[in-house]
Structure 1
Amino acid sequence: MNDTDRSRFPTYSAAGRIRRGVVGLALACTAPYAVSDVLYQEHFTGGSAGFSSEGRVTVNNGYARLHGSFSATSSITSEVIRTKGASGLSLTYSRETSGLEAGESLIAEVSVDGGAFTVLEFSRDASGSTTLSLPPAESELRLRFSLDANTYFDRAELRSIVLNGEVGEGNDDCGGAPCEEPPTGERTTIVPDSSWDCGMPDGIPDPSSGELLFTALLPTGSVKDLGQTPYGQRSVVTVNGGRLNDTSSDLNGSIQSGALDFNLALPSGAVEHESRYTIRTADGTQVYMRNCGVADGDNVRFVADFEAPNNSSLNWLHQGTYVGVREQTDAGVRLSLYQNPQPGGNDQVVTTPSDNGLRQQSWDCPALPAGADSGNQILQARVGIGGFQSIGDSKYGSRRIIPITGGSFSGDFAGEVNPGGADYQLTVDGDLSLEARYTLQTSDGETIVVRNCGDYGNSSLTRPLFEASTSGKYAWLNDKGFVGTITPGLSSVTITVFDRQ
């Protein structure tokens, strides 16, 4: 395949179909949650990216199954969930137990603001969904589910864990004052640097000049800070799902857990952003959303590109322009996305400063050099994968997304594969290309970003690219060339990396 066959960011025009419904206001700031909104959710459709596990735990497509054991209690524990500004917290989850005898139980617990875990519910013969009130949490909480049982055949199955909360007046990001629409004369058009133009080299218009498509609050997990890399100051944020709110169209549903946001802070003060989300609508349709963003200040302005099934009612997303604002709040990442914004004659034009002294990151997956072959083996990774998220035939080809749920690696250096990220596969005219994005955690505590590119129409080898701190012991990974192979397994893949010859 040539470059035009790849999943490139398109060049946008203002023309496109606007889905009419409830007309959204273009707000300068909005409340971090809608009333009785979803603050956190985990449906285990892409593994257990939002939970860590201990003991005998099986995570599959749609559930987490805890097995009993004489030697250890099986449990899953959430990452920290931000709750600042939220009240009336409640937890809804579905559970099913089997084989439990007297004295054995499934235990649901909560830890509030860093305190000890307290019990919410003991269940011996639980079945179906339940909703429990939670104590107030000023800033954060964690959830834990454990099975106290003796044999492997004793088990509990958990599905669809959802945390809800409410925000009253005065708990919004406008400091309690009414949020107002920005005056037209104060709108800006951002002209991005040519190295990261997000498909809009002439300028990204103010999102609020368009019609609101949706807002979303995405609870976040761990932030991996790599420090200075050849591209700038790199950080990676884990996104634990979220629900689309304030929709003015038939695009509604949830953003799946386990996504990674890649952010690059440059010495000039500019920021470059990339994120990829899978949206699952109420009727089960899956939509792929890839965002490219820039900023010269606190918030990121991003351009969204959608891939929806060609045969679905959402294929109108393939037309038009979608521009949004990404804000990092104490509660998580808040997105506000608008349709077909238009630059105004009185807009202030802001040019994103360049940092030409740094290596420029690539939007497209770099191709493997012709004639490349494998040399000495560098490492081998066993990478866990979750259930496939299939978009099907869409505007670039047939898209399939395979979530990464964790794993381990060994070789010239060793450590763990962090949960989060995915392999984004595209098939065009029978030829498969892939792009896997995830992170490694070395045994001595350094984070390394991996981007593994493959074009099976031209080669059976992949091109792994590593990004590591320039001041760390793994800086050599930034400059060497590598090739790789991928061997599929039942619930994992084996990735082997070699020196490139």
Structure 2
Amino acid sequence: MVKSEDRIHMISTRRHGLLFISFVIMIFITVGFIQCISTAQGTKAPDLNDDKVVNMADVILLAGAFNSVSGDEKYKAEYDLNSDNSINMADVILIAGQFNKVIISTSIPTPTSPQQTNDIEKILIPHKSWTCGMADGIPKPENGSLVLEASMKLDQVYDLGKTQYGQRKVYVIQGGTITGTKLSGSIMSGGLDFQLDISNGAMEIEQIFVIKTTDGTYIYLRSAGTAANQNDIRMVPDFEAPTSSSYSWLNTGKYVGRRIIDTAAKTMKISVYDVSGININPNSSNSITVNEPTDVKDQPWDYRKASSEKNGSQFIVESVSLGSSQSVGATKKGGNRNIIPITGGTVTGKLNAKIIPAGADYQNLSSPMTIDARYLWMTNDGEIIIVRNGGQFGALVPTFEVRADSKYSYLNNNLYLSSNPAMISAGVSITFYESQK
């Protein structure tokens, strides 16, 4: 039975909630309704449930935290729209002023100095070792027209530390959604984002995702990104859509994007813009160049190719678990793209590890058939190792990236060869060998 005093408290609480919402509605009528806004990184949008529109669902969330201050149990920093450490009427007025507005994230970075503010407007010239597919210069993305946005949840974040290339982090995608005027669908789980922080503040990024559209079409997306400073990260997406599909326009466009990661919320957002109408004429006054220290080893874009090498001692044996194929079909690359997700497995031999469920074998079924498998090991003592095994069948070459001061650092420099995959139950078995000339 509910005691009378508890019933009175419940009725009182409900009445206060209704009064709050009624009062908010009155403010909305006073402020007025406007339909569309753009928000930038560093500005809190009142879309509290992240459904891309400010509506009564956000009001209810704000009501639950109303009259709380920083440190209170019900205080939520993300609801403190004016960042005054209190959920109060100022936040109500802010959400009222943007009620019924669709949120379009333009993802403009927040500069930390006047110089960086100026640099964001400039053409970004990539380092010669990491051209991003736009060696002549990457324009400011927002100068183009918005094509699509992807919102993703991060499954895992692995901080490898300093490797042979720089400070390496790997973000594993749990899944997500993609929306645009001509494209909508899902980001498949297991996507990889390889972030490289360089000692002078520059950054290089490689992403590999698979999109599944609402009509079931698979699209392969491999992007390169770079930054002269981390307040202005620019991505260059390279789409591979089926040439016979309604998404073939992605194959010929010229795109630049933004990538924003919220490590606390474990989210990643990418906004892609069509910049085909922007002229690139860089000069000393309108461009900035990504520089790297001379002692930094360049990371490769393509997989290593063996030359006059043969199998030496057996190094390890992988038993790799695989998911169902995600067939893109014929693409602009002149082959038939087929993607087989990696869902786990084991590594035994001169080192022992488990295979993290992430990444895939990104096959090109043209003749000769090639594979480009990208995935991660976690050794029995907790080290994360980036693995890439690529090449033509009969000439597969694995390479590794691991923390430079770990006991496995020999992997960064030694040469290895790989057998072809052999079918086993629910996956494949692959043997790696030490390479001999």
TM-score, with structure 2 as normaliser: 0.73
Counterpart CA distance in 1 for 2:249 and 2:170 is 31
| Per-residue deviation, 1:343 | 4.9
The corresponding residue for 1:382 is: 319
| Residue 391 of structure 1 pairs with residue 302 of structure 2 | no
| Residue 479 of structure 1 pairs with residue 417 of structure 2 | no
RMSD after superposition: 3.3
Contact 2:170 2:193 in 1 (8 A): yes
| Per-residue deviation, 1:31 | 6.6
1:431 alignment partner, SS class: coil
Q: How does 1:171-250 map to 2 (within 5 A)?
A: 187-245=121-179, 247-249=180-182
Contact 2:322 2:344 in 1 (8 A): yes
| Per-residue deviation, 1:138 | 5.6
After superposition, the C-alpha distances for 1:423-457 in whole angstroms (9 at most, x for unaligned) are: 110122x211111111111111111110111212x
Q: Relative contact order, CA 8 A, sep 6+: which one is greater? A: 1
The corresponding residue for 2:197 is: 265
After superposition, the C-alpha distances for 1:55-91 in whole angstroms (9 at most, x for unaligned) are: xxxxxxxxxxxxxxxxxxxxxxxxxxxxxx98989xx
| Per-residue deviation, 1:358 | 1.9
| Per-residue deviation, 1:323 | 0.4
More helix by share: 2
Q: How does 1:295-444 map to 2 (within 5 A)?
A: 295=227, 296-329=229-262, 330-331=264-265, 332-340=267-275, 342-343=278-279, 348-369=286-307, 371-396=308-333, 397-428=335-366, 430-444=367-381
Query: Structure 2 stretches of 5 or more lacking a match?
Result: 1-35, 62-73, 79-93, 109-116
Identity between Structure 1 and Structure 2 (%): 36
| Per-residue deviation, 1:345 | 7.5
1:214 alignment partner, SS class: strand
The corresponding residue for 2:382 is: 445
Deviates more, 1:285-294 or 1:298-307: 298-307
| Per-residue deviation, 1:366 | 2.0
| Per-residue deviation, 1:292 | 0.3
Which letter maps to 2:430?
I
Counterpart CA distance in 2 for 1:254 and 1:178 is 18
| Residue 492 of structure 1 pairs with residue 427 of structure 2 | yes
Query: Structure 1 stretches of 5 or more lacking a match?
Result: 1-23, 40-84, 90-135, 141-167
1:463 to 391, 397, 401: 397
Change (3 A) 1:340 1:33: farther
TM-score, with structure 1 as normaliser: 0.64
Contact 1:275 1:292 in 2 (8 A): yes
**Over alpha carbons, which structure has the higher Rg?**
2
Counterpart CA distance in 2 for 1:416 and 1:185 is 44
Q: How does 1:27-66 map to 2 (within 5 A)?
A: 28-29=40-41
Contact 1:215 1:336 in 2 (8 A): yes
Aligned residues: 348
Which letter maps to 1:282?
T
| Per-residue deviation, 1:248 | 2.3
Contact 2:360 2:374 in 1 (8 A): yes
Change (3 A) 1:494 1:215: same
1:448 alignment partner, SS class: strand
Contact 2:136 2:280 in 1 (8 A): no
Counterpart CA distance in 1 for 2:318 and 2:210 is 25
1:195 alignment partner, SS class: coil
Change (3 A) 1:349 1:378: same
After superposition, the C-alpha distances for 1:121-152 in whole angstroms (9 at most, x for unaligned) are: xxxxxxxxxxxxxxx99699xxxxxxxxxxxx
After superposition, the C-alpha distances for 1:176-212 in whole angstroms (9 at most, x for unaligned) are: x998898999622111100001111111001111110
| Per-residue deviation, 1:291 | 0.6
More strand by share: 1
Deviates more, 1:336-345 or 1:180-189: 180-189
After superposition, the C-alpha distances for 1:354-379 in whole angstroms (9 at most, x for unaligned) are: 2331221111222121x321111111
After superposition, the C-alpha distances for 1:355-409 in whole angstroms (9 at most, x for unaligned) are: 331221111222121x321111111111111110100011111100111111111
| Per-residue deviation, 1:300 | 2.3
Counterpart CA distance in 2 for 1:376 and 1:489 is 23
| Per-residue deviation, 1:488 | 2.2
Counterpart CA distance in 2 for 1:452 and 1:32 is 43
Which letter maps to 2:305?
A
1:197 alignment partner, SS class: coil
Which contiguous aligned blocks of 4+ residues in structure 1 show a shift greater than 2 angstroms?
24-39, 85-89, 136-140, 177-186, 343-348
Change (3 A) 1:37 1:386: farther
Deviates more, 1:312-321 or 1:186-195: 186-195
Change (3 A) 1:180 1:285: closer
| Per-residue deviation, 1:285 | 0.7
Counterpart CA distance in 2 for 1:179 and 1:393 is 33
| Per-residue deviation, 1:244 | 1.2
| Per-residue deviation, 1:217 | 1.6
